[in-house]
């Protein structure tokens, strides 16, 4: 009733539907009316993760070890929930860099290394081989089982069937044909396959419904719902143990399976293809975060019921648990359900094989074969105009090769492994990309050599701990290799490396591959340095979100002649551009339409025109930015980078110059401020001088006029007024003298009469000159204490006397009016003479201590009444003392009087100082 022909016909019918959808999807894509631009389609296409392994294998796994099938679905869910931003980053990087595969991604990150791309490709092809074989095995087994409907007959061992009678071979051939049809009908510039994605999304719906149908049939058709299935399983002693976690392999097993699946959902070549390369809009990630886990949940709900149903139905291991999805409906004689289940399994396997082989074929052609061919100069490939035919041939061969490799593995390994165990090997292989990719997008310091070392070492350990044992187990290598280690060296036993035992094979292999991979990746990265192109790529990858979003521009399409015209306008102006393009039209005898796509001829021409204006390297970059083309030629890239590094040098020099300029500007600004300040000081000085002159002049004029206009005023009064006039005239004279004095000193035009004199004499002179003041103010007492043995000083005696007179008259002016006391002291101190004049007046506020030595800066405002004098006495004193190498300063506090100190170096000291000045 369900003969081989029926099954084959239905299968081909189904595959034709898939192909029709793909064809339609491609057509729509060509018309730029995408049918996959939806987050739902995106999420469903990611469900290509659920393969025949999920469809048949999960039940098989559940039947042997309970819930241990779950981590495979928990991992991806965790990745989506916890790592969505990493996925988004990978997508953004891939869009911006027009990444076409996971190999391309790794190669691009580590300095566009073609060697690394090839390495990833080889790891992927070898690592995925068991996974593809799993699909072939599942299809052929399910076909063989269903063929005998309604009898349940387990198929003979594959290895024992002659190759030409082996269903798996025909399945492989058919799959290869379909993959070629789906993925390599033509070469797409962006390596995107919209039709394929649409078909995959449809396929995901079919396998989900098929599995749900079987699940519902078993749970509710045969039994009375979940409760009955579970309670019956729980009462069966053989089944009860499946409810425990020990059955599921313990925690290490759970954790390692979860981790490895977390990586697999992104890093398996086909997952990278649908998740990253085929992604239409990175915002779709947001919906996929929950849509995909929901899909995973739905397809897992009935795994346990079906497994229990199968175990209850077929006690005693007579039927392979991996076939329960098929055999339980068969046993119940529901051929429709069984056939639907077969289509679901076929669907799951087909989807996986198509996407996986297309992804691998792209890698093989772009990252392995083409770089080799291009490097092989004698083929002159780089000069050939159209390489697409060659590319297609390479890819088709790659698809056939990959599938046949999978088939070969099935033949070799045969029945010795369950579906899930085979698939997990591939997961661990794919996990070898994780350090290089995760590190690549998060750590700028990761180097090409680090990635190379980590990945290749991890891969070798994978071969040793998983691939070789699988050959041994199926008898192709001696069993003792696994049991006792190579040549009996137990330390190197592939399942217990360095004595690490107690883990299941997958956890063991994952542990060692990751230790070696991550360790070497980090260590070698830290020890090696990056080349310039590596560094620039590293920065671009890690900082992708910090850059202005150039990506949008880059992947939007190809350039038009209008684009070139606008670019050219920007650099050489409209007139020149128009002339250049007209010349091109005349020379080539063709019309240029701005809306038309630019071809190589015009691009080359435009680039040359631009190069004349901005240099060859920059023109190359500008044209490339408009064309969104990739630069394949490493030499060219390096040349551009060299010129760019020169630019960096220039720009550093420019920066340095501008820094110097800034510093100079700052200096100028400061000088300007200083000038303004000086200008204001000059204004203040002039205005103060004006005031100082006008004040005595006012009195003189007033009294003169009064005396003149009032001949009748009493004689006494007249005398007094005339006295005032004389007094104010004297004041004016003093002021003029002081100002001239100061001006001369400042100009260095003073005559100094230097002589070695006794300090005592100067003090006596000063006291004699001020005796009149004390006579006028009898309430002020004077104390004078001059030491005996003062050294002589080399000074102008009159000038020093002037300083002391000034200090003494100031003291008289400011000391206490009723109990005035002025103390003059002189003593020798460290080769100098120190003279101090103390008064017991109001004192000088600390903030005024400096001010009073400036011109016209009497601390008058703080004093009662306006002090007499010109306000120039102290500034003049400062100048005089400076001339003789002395100093003058004040010590005082408000209310405690003031002491002015004058220090004059002894004649010997002055002499030495002068001598020293002359020597130097």
Partner 1 sequence: MPQSVLVVDDEANILLSLEFLMKKAGYEVRLARDGEEALAEIGKARPDLVLLDVMMPKRNGFDVCEAIRANPEWRPVRVILLTAKGRDIEREKGLALGADDYITKPFSTREVVERVTAWIGPAK
Nearer to partner 1, 570 or 813 (CB): 813
Q: Smallest distance, Å, CB 736 to partner 1? A: 16
Residue whose CB is less far from partner 1, 706 or 757: 706
DSSP symbols for 799-856: HHHHHHHHHHHHHHHHS-TTT-EEEEEEEEETTEEEEEEEE-SS---GGGTTGGGSTT
CB of 777 to partner 1, least distance (A): 17
Min separation Cβ 694 and partner 1, Å: 4
Tell me how far apart the alpha carbons of residues 61 and 39 are, in angstroms, rounded to a whole number.
Answer: 32
CB of 713 vs partner 1, minimal distance in Å: 8
Q: Is 31 helix (H, G, I), strand (E, B) or coil?
A: coil
The nearest distance, CB 742 to partner 1, in angstroms, is 20
Q: Which is nearer to partner 1, 372 or 686 (CB)?
A: 686
Nearer to partner 1, 34 or 695 (CB): 695
Nearest approach, Cβ of 874 to partner 1 (angstroms)?
18
Q: Which two tokens stand for residue 853?
A: 């030595």
Nearer to partner 1, 683 or 882 (CB): 683
How far, rounded to the nearest angstrom, does the alpha carbon of residue 147 sit from its chain's CA centroid?
58
Q: Do the beta carbons of residue 894 and residue 887 sit within 8 Å?
A: no
Name 906's bridge partners. 793
C-beta separation of 880 from 900 below 8 A: no
Q: In what order do the strands lie in the sheet containing 781-786?
A: 781-786, 821-829, 832-839, 898-905, 887-892
Does residue 136 contact residue 313 with C-beta atoms inside 8 Å?
no
Residue 776 C-beta: closest distance to partner 1, Å: 16
Nearer CB in complex with partner 1: 751/861: 861
Give the DSSP H or E segment for 565: helix 561-572
Which residues of this chain interact with partner 1, rule CB under 8 A?
687, 690-691, 694-695, 697-703, 705-706, 709-710, 721, 724, 727-728, 860-861, 863-866
Q: To the nearest whole angstrom, how small is the minimum distance from the Cβ of residue 710 to partner 1?
A: 7
Between residues 502 and 714, which has the closer beta carbon with respect to partner 1?
A: 714
Cα–Cα distance, 860 to 155 (Å, whole number):
120
- Least distance from partner 1 to the Cβ atom of residue 698, Å: 4
Residue 493, Cα to own-chain centre: how many angstroms? 43
d(CA 752, CA 802): 13
Q: Is 529 left (phi over 0), alpha (psi -120 to 50) or beta?
A: beta
Q: Identify which of residues 483 and 698 has a Cβ nearer to partner 1 in the complex.
A: 698
Q: Which helix (H) or strand (E) segment is 889 a member of?
A: strand 887-892
Task: Specify the residue, 246 or 709, whose C-beta has the smaller distance to partner 1.
Answer: 709
Q: Can you tell me the distance from the alpha carbon of 873 to that of 854, in angstroms, rounded to the nearest whole number?
A: 10
Min dist CB 708 to partner 1, Å, is 9
Residue with tokens 């719906």: 205
| 799's tokens | 């000038």
| Closest CB to partner 1 among residues 715, 864 | 864
Minimum distance from residue 836 beta carbon to partner 1 (Å): 28
Minimum CB distance to partner 1, residue 693 (Å):
8
Name the residue nearer to partner 1 (CB basis): 864 or 916: 864
Token pair listed for 301: 């709900």
Query: Residue 58: which residues within 8 A CB-CB, separation 6 or more?
Result: 69, 72, 300, 303, 420
Of the two residues 486 and 860, which places its CB atom closer to partner 1 in the complex?
Answer: 860
699 vs 887, beta carbon nearer partner 1:
699
Give least dist CB 861 to partner 1, A: 5
Beta-bridge partner residues of 782: 822
Cis? peptide before 801, omega within 30° of 0: no
Rounded (5°) CA angle 174-36-125: 40
User: Nearest distance from residue 762's CB to partner 1, in Å?
Assistant: 34
What is the C-alpha to C-alpha distance for residues 93 and 96, in angstroms, rounded to an integer? 5
Nearer to partner 1, 778 or 865 (CB): 865
Closer residue to partner 1 (CB): 336 or 710: 710
Contacts of 260 (CB under 8 A, 6+ apart): 75, 424, 427, 428, 431, 506, 510
CA separation for the pair 893, 351 (Å, rounded): 98
Q: How far is the CB of 546 from partner 1 (least distance, A)?
A: 57
Closer to partner 1 at the Cβ: 213 or 700?
700
Q: What are the angstrom distances between the C-alpha of 88 and each of 94, 279, 284, 544?
A: 10, 10, 10, 11
* Continuous segment of H or E residues that includes residue 795: strand 793-796
CB of 851 to partner 1, least distance (A): 15
Q: At what angle do helices 4-30 and 194-216 cross, to 10 degrees?
A: 140
Is residue 150 reached through a cis peptide bond, with omega within 30 degrees of 0 on the bond before it? yes
Cβ contacts of residue 368 below 8 Å, gap of 6+?
A: 103, 117, 118, 121, 122
Residue pair 495/508 in contact by the 8 Å Cβ criterion: yes
């Amino acid at each position: 009733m369900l003969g081989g022909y029926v099954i084959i016909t239905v299968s081909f019918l189904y595959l034709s539907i898939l192909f029709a959808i793909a064809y339609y999807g491609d057509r729509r894509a060509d018309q730029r009316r995408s049918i996959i631009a939806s987050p739902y389609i995106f999420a469903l296409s990611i469900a290509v993760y659920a393969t025949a392994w999920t469809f048949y294998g999960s039940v098989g796994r559940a039947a042997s070890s309970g819930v241990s099938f779950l981590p495979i679905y928990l991992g991806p869910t965790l990745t989506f929930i916890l790592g969505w931003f990493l996925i988004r980053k990978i997508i953004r990087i891939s869009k911006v860099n027009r990444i076409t595969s996971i190999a391309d991604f790794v190669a691009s990150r580590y300095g566009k290394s073609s060697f690394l791309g090839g390495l990833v490709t080889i790891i992927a092809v070898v690592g995925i081989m068991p996974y593809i074989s799993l699909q072939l095995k599942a299809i052929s087994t399910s076909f063989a089982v269903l063929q005998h409907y309604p009898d349940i007959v387990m198929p003979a061992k594959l290895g024992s069937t002659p190759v030409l009678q082996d269903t798996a071979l025909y399945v492989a051939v058919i799959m290869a044909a379909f993959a070629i049809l789906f993925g390599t009908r033509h070469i797409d510039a962006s390596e995107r396959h919209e039709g394929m994605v649409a078909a995959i999304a449809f396929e995901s719906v079919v396998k989900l419904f098929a599995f749900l149908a079987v699940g519902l049939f078993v749970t509710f058709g045969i039994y009375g719902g979940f409760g009955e299935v579970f309670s019956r399983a729980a009462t069966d002693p053989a089944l009860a143990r499946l409810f425990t976690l020990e059955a599921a392999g313990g925690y290490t097993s759970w954790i390692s399976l979860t981790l490895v699946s977390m990586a697999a959902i992104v890093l398996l070549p086909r997952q990278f293809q649908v998740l990253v390369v085929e992604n239409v809009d990175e915002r779709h990630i947001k919906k996929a975060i929950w849509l995909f886990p929901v899909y995973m949940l739905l397809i897992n709900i009935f795994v346990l019921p079906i497994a229990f149903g199968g175990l209850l139905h077929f006690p005693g291991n007579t039927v392979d648990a991996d076939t329960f999805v098929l055999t339980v409906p068969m046993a119940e004689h529901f051929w429709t359900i069984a056939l639907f289940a077969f289509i679901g399994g076929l669907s799951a396997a087909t989807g996986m094989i198509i996407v996986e082989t297309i992804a691998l074929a792209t890698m093989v052609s772009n990252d392995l074969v083409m770089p080799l061919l291009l490097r092989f100069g004698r083929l002159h490939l780089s000069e050939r105009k159209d390489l697409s035919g060659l590319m297609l041939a390479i890819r088709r061969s790659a698809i056939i090769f990959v599938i046949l490799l999978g088939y070969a593995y099935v033949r070799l390994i045969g029945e010795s492994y369950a579906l899930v165990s085979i698939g997990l090997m591939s997961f661990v292989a794919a996990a070898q990309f994780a350090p290089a990719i995760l590190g690549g997008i998060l750590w700028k310091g990761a180097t090409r050599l680090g990635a190379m070392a980590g990945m290749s070492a991890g891969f070798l350990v994978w071969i040793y701990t998983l691939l070789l044992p699988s050959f041994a187990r199926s008898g192709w290598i001696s069993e003792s290799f696994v049991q006792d280690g190579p040549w009996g060296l137990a330390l190197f036993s592939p399942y217990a490396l360095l004595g690490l035992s107690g883990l299941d094979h997958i956890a063991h292999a994952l542990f060692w591959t990751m230790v070696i991979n991550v360790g070497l990746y980090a260590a070698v990265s830290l020890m090696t340095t990056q080349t310039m192109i590596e560094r620039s790529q590293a920065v671009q990858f890690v900082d992708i979100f910090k850059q202005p979003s150039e990506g949008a521009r880059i992947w939007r399409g190809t350039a038009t002649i209008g684009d070139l015209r606008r670019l050219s306008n920007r650099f050489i102006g409209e007139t020149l551009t128009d002339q250049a393009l007209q010349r091109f039209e005349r020379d080539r005898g063709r019309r240029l339409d701005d809306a038309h796509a630019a071809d190589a001829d015009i691009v080359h021409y435009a680039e040359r025109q631009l190069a004349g204006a901005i240099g060859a390297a920059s023109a190359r970059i500008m044209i490339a930015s408009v064309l969104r083309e990739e630069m394949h030629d490493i030499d060219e890239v390096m040349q551009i980078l060299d010129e760019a590094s020169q630019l960096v040098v220039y720009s550093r020099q420019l920066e340095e110059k501008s820094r110097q300029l800034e510093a100079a500007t700052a200096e100028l600004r400061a000088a300007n401020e200083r000038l303004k300040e000086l200008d204001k000081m000059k204004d203040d000085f002039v205005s103060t001088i004006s005031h100082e002159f006008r004040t005595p002049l006012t009195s003189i004029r007033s009294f003169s006029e009064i005396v003149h206009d009032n001949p009748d005023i009493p004689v006494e009064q007249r005398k007094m007024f005339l006295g005032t006039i004389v007094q104010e005239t004297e004041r004016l004279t003093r002021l003029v003298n002081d100002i001239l004095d100061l001006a001369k000193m400042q100009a260095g035009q003073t005559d100094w009469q230097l002589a070695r004199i006794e300090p005592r004499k100067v003090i006596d002179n000063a006291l004699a000159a001020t005796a009149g003041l004390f006579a006028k103010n009898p309430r002020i007492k004077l104390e004078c204490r001059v030491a005996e043995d003062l050294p002589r000083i080399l000074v102008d005696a009159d000038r020093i006397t002037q300083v002391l007179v000034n200090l003494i008259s100031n003291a008289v002016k400011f000391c206490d009016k009723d109990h005035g006391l002025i103390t003059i002291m002189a003593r020798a101190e460290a080769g100098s003479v120190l003279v101090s004049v103390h008064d017991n007046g109001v004192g000088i506020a600390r903030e005024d201590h400096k001010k009073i030595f400036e011109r016209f800066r009497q601390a008058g405002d703080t004093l009662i009444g306006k002090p007499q004098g010109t306000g120039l006495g102290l500034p003049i004193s400062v100048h005089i003392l400076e001339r003789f190498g002395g100093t003058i300063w004040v010590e005082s506090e408000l209310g405690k009087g003031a002491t002015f100190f004058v220090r004059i170096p002894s004649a010997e000291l002055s002499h030495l100082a002068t001598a020293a000045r002359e020597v130097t």
